[in-house]
Structure 1
Amino acid sequence: MSHPLSRRSALLGAGAVAGLALWDGPAEAAVGAAAFDATRERWVSLLAGGSYNYAYTDKTEAIEGSANAVLRKMEPDPRRPSLWPDLPLKDPRTGNFNRSYNRMRTLALGWATPGTAMHRSREVAEAAVRALDFLYEHAYHEDLDRRGSNWFWWEIGVPRALTDTCALLYDGLPERRLRRWLRPLRRWCPDPERRISHPGVVETGANRASKAMAVAMRGLLTYEARLVKRARDAVSDLLRPTSGPGDGFYRDGSFIQHDVYPYTGSYGVDYLESVAKLIAMLSRSPWEINGIGNVYHIVERSFVPFIFDGLMMDCVRGRQISVQGHRDYHSGQKAVEAVLTLLETAPDRYARRWKPLVKGWLTRNRAIPYDTLAPLPSVARARALLDDPSVPVGPRTTGTYVFADMDRIVHRRPTWAYAIAMSSERIGAAEAMNRENLHGWYTGDGMTYLYTGDLTHWNDDLWPTIDPYRLPGTTVDTRRRADLAHGRRRLPPTPWAGGVALDGEYGVAAMKLVAGGSSLRAKKAWFLLDDAVIALGTGITASDGRRIETVVENRNTHDRHPPLAQGDGWFHLNGVAGYALLDGADAKAIRMERTGRWRDIDKGATTGGDTTPVTRHYTTILIDHGVDPRKARYAYAVLPGASATQTAAYRGRVEILANSASVQAITRDNLLAAVFWRAATVETVYGPLAADGPCTLLARLDREHVRLAVSDPSRTADEVKITLPWPVKSVKEGDRGVRRARGAVTVEVGGSRGHARTAVVAV
């Protein structure tokens, strides 16, 4: 379809194409207009889809409905000024100018999506031109001052929305006006690697990837090859793993943003989404991204362990857990979308694994409306995958994953998963910025996340309604807290946080708790088994005159209290898990309804939650250590999916070998698991197990061999000598630095950054 506003064919004849050819260097060929157009159109197809849209009438109608609402409510008022009455533009600190450009993107998507009634409408394009003129004059141009508003809106938020809008509306926009609207990006987003508002800051991770998208699109829209090349090169740098400290992807799969915070499920997803779309957009173009193999490794190392049936685990979503419009299924959907996009170019060895994996996520999570969350092209790719009989439904991912570089551990079994969020002098306990995550005080203090068949537990208004002083897994001082302050970091003054895994089936995690603003101290350990999690705590001490509690569980049961059975030292919550006390300590169960508002935990300018009260039912299981405990302890088992009968009989299933200030250890069958806080010896049925320094350890006896895994979460030792209960004859196979030493095993852990050393030894 053509109309008077369409002008590229007129402007870019054969002579004009020659004039637009640009050189990036003496060894590179000139790039003609056709390459720019083809690449830009590929991007539009990723946003708006194509002829298959007609098969998705409901989705197309939803896009059209949103776009019509934007158009219908548009009332330009230069006196106020505002483009929509509810978004006055006078004060940039409100973020309304950023919201306004997001609405323009919604309108442009309706115009560009085949099948909508407004598809390529001249009247809609003219309205969009007037609106973009208005925003340029009153909200976003090169001569404005930020006046203390969020730098992100100026350098990433608006550039991304504006370039998407211009790409979608491209054939309906006058050439000179388009260049005028994009001119502010020369000031606010000229280079993916630079932060204009904070000179000296080099962009990393998701911020650089997002800026690269905006710079690449500006280059495509204005026929400037140097900009597209700059964006490509900036992203290529991101594909290399970092050894830290600071932002980026690490070799163990960790992802850090803002220097000290685990953010795989938020900034990491944004990064993956941007990179995946850049790879797809620039494929088969003069700017194709080379050396992208590490992106596929990143998907498997960094993202797959944290995706549970299409949900992104909250332990790596940072302050985004408090944002009402960004639940775990939103982050999961973006990750799924990125993987589906990468499947377009992924080598066969990845595609063969990923297709069943994604099909399993989508099949098991029918409660989450993927069709309404994802963009239409992604919905079409998902539907094609679901309908492909040659692709089986993949099972849930299983394994134990230790992310030593971000103090996170994930233990996954066929029917459940368990994640632990820790902190240390390297990794922040909780981030609060832009008045978000105001009550996240204890989310990095050993909080545990149990995932079961109830896929709505974490996303059903949990964060505004759960008692933030009683998060599962934590040991807390019951003092009242003020809202977390913007940008204030808390790095607990201890190096102790981390763990080790063995055979993808067993794990150990440990952290030294140094509570913020309190004298509370404790040593906490978790032993991750094939059917249970054993939690031990010791040295629980405080002196502030307040009560100390350990929270075994705090479960969101939605709109009712399910059956709760209990007996001598055990509880069973129907449909969730059993909980067995292993040391005879008393615990209590509390059942209550809790009411909260999203606004209580997020007052951000553009993310702030609403003030509508929401109520949910909770079952809380607590161990009360009393006021000012001295060297208190706890020991309990979490038994996901167990019956009440199995829970009642569990107490003798695992033997606690030690729960002291020097060592915490358990044994079951042929497995030994221990946390040595310092040099110590513990007696086992086989004989003494000892370590001459700090470490976490797993040893599994298999006839005449022992499979061994050791790490030093304290990062203080150079090597650790492990004396097993059996004399070591030889090291059959193992990582470098593992060797036999006088019937024992010596493990070099210096410089390992808390990562494991494994071996098979003959005994």
Structure 2
Amino acid sequence: MTHPLSRRSALLGAGAVAGLALWDGPAEAAGRAAFDAARERWVSLLSGGSSSVVHTAKTRAVEGSAHAVLRKLRPAPGRPSLWSDLPLDDPRTGNFNRSYNRMRTLALGWATPGTAMHRDEQVAETAARALDFLYEHAYHEDLNPRGSNWFWWEISVPRALTDTCALLYDGLPQDRLRRWLRPLRRWCPDPERRVSHPGVVETGANRAGKATAVAMRGLLTHDARLVERAKDAISDLLRTTNGPGDGFYRDGSFIQHDVYPYTGSYGVDYLENVAKLIAMLSDSPWEIRDSGKVYDIVDRSFVPFVYDGLMMDCVRGRAISRQGHRDLHAGQKTVEAVLTLLEAAPERHARRWRPLVKGWLTRNQSIPYDTFAPLATIARARALLEDPSVPVGPRTTGTYVFADMDRVVHRRPTWAFAIAMSSERIGAAEAMNRENLHGWYTGDGMTYLYTGDLTHWNDDLWPTIDPYRLPGTTVDTRRRADLRHGEARLPPTPWAGGVTLDGEYGAAAMRLVAGGSSLRAKKAWFLLDDAVVALGAGITASDGRRVETVVENRNTHDEHPPLYQGDGWIHLAGVAGYALLDGAEAKVIRERRTGRWRDIDKGATTGGDATPVTRHYTTIVVDHGVDPRRARYAYAVLPGVAPARTAAYGERVEILANSAAVQAIARDELLAAVFWRAGSVETAHGPLAASGPCAVLLRRDGERVRVAVSDPSRTSGEVRLTLPWAVRSIEKHDRGVRRARRAVEVDLGGSRGRTRSAVARI
């Protein structure tokens, strides 16, 4: 197999590995050597080290970008600007932030072995004069931000500036370097403190980003107190929480901005910064001693959301609207971080991660690592791909319920399915800085199907998909205005979450309380080994508008693939079959849709371009009519199956109930139910009853039944389950599960929506 990482890339990155050799002097006698060793380690992570290398596509890309920056650099004090397209007179434009990013690009070209400008004295002097200019006109300690984005002043520019100074360090006059870094005393003095909002304590990715800038300033100025401060801030970040608020939760959830799932955006930034800080400070006087916690975070919080090197969009928040930050970019940064951590990971983690990452890199060759991955990453990735002792790991499988961020992920060997929900705990969609303007329904039960088509979600989907018809959602068809900055909608319902059994089966449910509409619905998904069965009930509205449930809305790129239909089924070639159950009817819409990234992101530094892009879509919709009263739907998604299996699937699954009280199915020896309140449902073996709201999975194996229960509403205390079979004993069980009068009692109080399991003998 031809890999996207050439052998010549490995030669280019060889210096990166050598450059990461740990400083081995005694810590107590380190002095200046410790600062220099850690700084050089950081430069190795950015540029690939200082060894002699040959030209490759990567060095040419680095060199080309740096030369473009240098060629167009024309200081104009009167305007003022360094580049004519980035005037610096108004900080609200973000041009000063872009200017420092360009300086980092230039510095990377200077520090990268093999480029024509490598360690060129004239280039270094030009860069020094440019940094003087930026200090005078764009970023110094006495400036007024004038209402511009605090993030640029306190995180983005400090990160770009410290990277630039580290890369150019050997070519810069030390007195001027200290002058350029002086603004950080005001704008980024402490990883835990937000200067622009003194009452805010930094958390998550923001704290990690500030810690990196503070640590680098300490290394560049030989100030051990700053490095120690950064190290302590990172150690605090490695603690998990039960909330509320930002951070990593014990169930693997990651929250930023108080109520938004952000594993794939802010979480990736966190992981990238922490991984590099661990590598940079390893075996130094400031080594992060409790770094082992981050390895568990990788397994628990990141791996479930990485699909063949892509980061699932359901946890990327408003970043889905950024033209230059797609799932492959977030996935690539995640891969980089894991490869960096592998250098020092305990063997119990490394043993799993090496095949895992090799599988990601082998199956997904659409990510152009040679173009934008750091040289150190290229070297590590190539070494991993060419190591015959490391097998190509299979895709991750399992069912993961992230109760603390209303996300559920179901992964099978050839496909994956994710569900994004919201509740009074978790916001439906975030819009900030004029980003994610049409993300109205991304947290209203949107479903994400991942198949062998690894370009579906990143091929200009977000500007071209109909934002009123996102898969999995039930929507009022009213027209919407762009989401406003800071607009936060937490639906006034506690109901959102799921349950998992044996890592192979799952159920998820949410009560839909639509924003700005009277629409209400009960939505449930049953996650099986070969399909996902979706039920909706109690669909009611009274606004005089049509209500729809969107079964699918598939980006098929530049063509309409074959479509087959029969009585109660639809099959989209290369994607999935869709079985319409319990008498449901659906219509199919095939269209070419044109949009612009600028329509969904007008951000000052992230805004997309205005170039129209067109993609083909196949949309499957259940029409509930105008002002439905207790309408319902039932369908199954069968990824990768043939038309014949799609047509016959209705005979494999039984809808036991689909009402506002209970939704339940049976398939072979599996029973799955969502009880919205106390109630019962009749099965082939007798009634299944629950004394309160809960989600239940039962799987019979002879005289034993595996039981899994959770409370997605977080309102139940103790729930009594009466099974269709008399319970003789409980053989294995989690805390709070017990037999009671031939039934099963489960203490769900304080469970935070997490699953309680048991094996019952019947």
Offset at 1:585? 2.0
Tell me the SS of whatever aligns to 2:351: helix
* Aligned amino acid, residue 400 of structure 2: Y
Alignment of 1:683-762 (within 5 A): 683-762=682-761
Match of 2:115 in 1: 116
Task: Provide the rounded CA distance (Å) in 2 between the counterparts of 1:693 and 1:294.
Answer: 37
Listed one character per residue, the Cα deviations across residues 541-580 of structure 1 (whole Å, up to 9, x for unaligned) are 0000000000000000000000000011110000000001
Listed one character per residue, the Cα deviations across residues 666-688 of structure 1 (whole Å, up to 9, x for unaligned) are 01111000000000010101111
Alignment of 1:254-653 (within 5 A): 254-653=253-652
Offset at 1:373? 2.5
**Cα gap change, 1:445 to 1:154, in 2 (>3 Å):** same
Give the conservation status (yes or no) of the 8 Å contact 2:438–2:467. yes
Task: Provide the rounded CA distance (Å) in 2 between the counterparts of 1:696 and 1:136.
Answer: 59
Give the conservation status (yes or no) of the 8 Å contact 1:576–1:640. yes
* Aligned amino acid, residue 224 of structure 2: A
Alignment of 1:180-195 (within 5 A): 180-195=179-194
Unaligned runs of 5+ in 2: 1-26
Offset at 1:584? 1.2
Give the conservation status (yes or no) of the 8 Å contact 2:540–2:628. yes
Poorly superposed stretches of 4+, deviation over 4 Å: 28-31
Offset at 1:53? 6.9
Offset at 1:54? 2.3
* Aligned amino acid, residue 474 of structure 1: T
Task: Provide the rounded CA distance (Å) in 2 between the counterparts of 1:340 and 1:39.
Answer: 19
Give the conservation status (yes or no) of the 8 Å contact 1:521–1:542. yes
Tell me the SS of whatever aligns to 1:381: helix
Tell me the SS of whatever aligns to 2:53: helix
Listed one character per residue, the Cα deviations across residues 18-43 of structure 1 (whole Å, up to 9, x for unaligned) are xxxxxxxxxx9575111101110111
**Cα gap change, 1:695 to 1:56, in 2 (>3 Å):** farther
Give the conservation status (yes or no) of the 8 Å contact 1:31–1:225. no
Identity of aligned residues (%): 82
Match of 2:4 in 1: none
Tell me the SS of whatever aligns to 1:286: coil
Task: Provide the rounded CA distance (Å) in 2 between the counterparts of 1:606 and 1:549.
Answer: 36
Listed one character per residue, the Cα deviations across residues 59-83 of structure 1 (whole Å, up to 9, x for unaligned) are 0111011001100000000000000
Task: Provide the rounded CA distance (Å) in 1 between the counterparts of 2:506 and 2:752.
Answer: 17
Give the conservation status (yes or no) of the 8 Å contact 1:282–1:288. yes
Listed one character per residue, the Cα deviations across residues 136-195 of structure 1 (whole Å, up to 9, x for unaligned) are 000000000100000000000000000000000001110110000000000000000000
Tell me the SS of whatever aligns to 1:54: coil
Count of residue pairs the alignment pairs up: 736
Listed one character per residue, the Cα deviations across residues 658-717 of structure 1 (whole Å, up to 9, x for unaligned) are 001110000111100000000001010111100000000001111111111100000001
Task: Provide the rounded CA distance (Å) in 1 between the counterparts of 2:486 and 2:328.
Answer: 26
Match of 2:105 in 1: 106
The alignment status of 1:668 with 2:667, answered yes or no, reads yes
* Aligned amino acid, residue 455 of structure 1: L
Give the conservation status (yes or no) of the 8 Å contact 2:584–2:635. no
Task: Provide the rounded CA distance (Å) in 2 between the counterparts of 1:495 and 1:306.
Answer: 24
Task: Provide the rounded CA distance (Å) in 1 between the counterparts of 2:239 and 2:289.
Answer: 12
**Cα gap change, 1:343 to 1:256, in 2 (>3 Å):** same
Listed one character per residue, the Cα deviations across residues 100-146 of structure 1 (whole Å, up to 9, x for unaligned) are 00000000000001111111000000000000000000000000010
**Cα gap change, 1:123 to 1:51, in 2 (>3 Å):** closer
Unaligned runs of 5+ in 1: 1-27
C-alpha root-mean-square deviation of aligned residues, in Å? 0.9
Give the conservation status (yes or no) of the 8 Å contact 2:44–2:50. no
Task: Provide the rounded CA distance (Å) in 2 between the counterparts of 1:731 and 1:723.
Answer: 14
Q: TM-score, normalised by structure 2?
A: 0.96
Task: Provide the rounded CA distance (Å) in 1 between the counterparts of 2:190 and 2:271.
Answer: 19
Task: Provide the rounded CA distance (Å) in 2 between the counterparts of 1:383 and 1:30.
Answer: 37
Give the conservation status (yes or no) of the 8 Å contact 2:55–2:115. no
Give the conservation status (yes or no) of the 8 Å contact 1:691–1:722. yes
Task: Provide the rounded CA distance (Å) in 1 between the counterparts of 2:93 and 2:456.
Answer: 33
Offset at 1:368? 2.0
**Cα gap change, 1:459 to 1:670, in 2 (>3 Å):** same
Tell me the SS of whatever aligns to 1:333: helix
Task: Provide the rounded CA distance (Å) in 2 between the counterparts of 1:455 and 1:431.
Answer: 26
Give the conservation status (yes or no) of the 8 Å contact 1:52–1:380. no
Offset at 1:370? 2.1
Task: Provide the rounded CA distance (Å) in 1 between the counterparts of 2:266 and 2:194.
Answer: 17
Tell me the SS of whatever aligns to 2:760: strand
Task: Provide the rounded CA distance (Å) in 1 between the counterparts of 2:49 and 2:540.
Answer: 63
**Cα gap change, 1:441 to 1:307, in 2 (>3 Å):** same
Give the conservation status (yes or no) of the 8 Å contact 1:108–1:169. yes
Offset at 1:492? 0.1
Offset at 1:241? 0.4
Moved more, 151-160 or 57-66: 57-66
Offset at 1:55? 5.1
Q: TM-score, normalised by structure 1?
A: 0.96
Tell me the SS of whatever aligns to 1:649: helix
Task: Provide the rounded CA distance (Å) in 2 between the counterparts of 1:591 and 1:187.
Answer: 56
Listed one character per residue, the Cα deviations across residues 346-385 of structure 1 (whole Å, up to 9, x for unaligned) are 0111111100000000000012212213111111111111
* Aligned amino acid, residue 697 of structure 1: V
Give the conservation status (yes or no) of the 8 Å contact 1:53–1:60. no
Tell me the SS of whatever aligns to 1:666: strand
Task: Provide the rounded CA distance (Å) in 2 between the counterparts of 1:586 and 1:108.
Answer: 60
Match of 1:142 in 2: 141
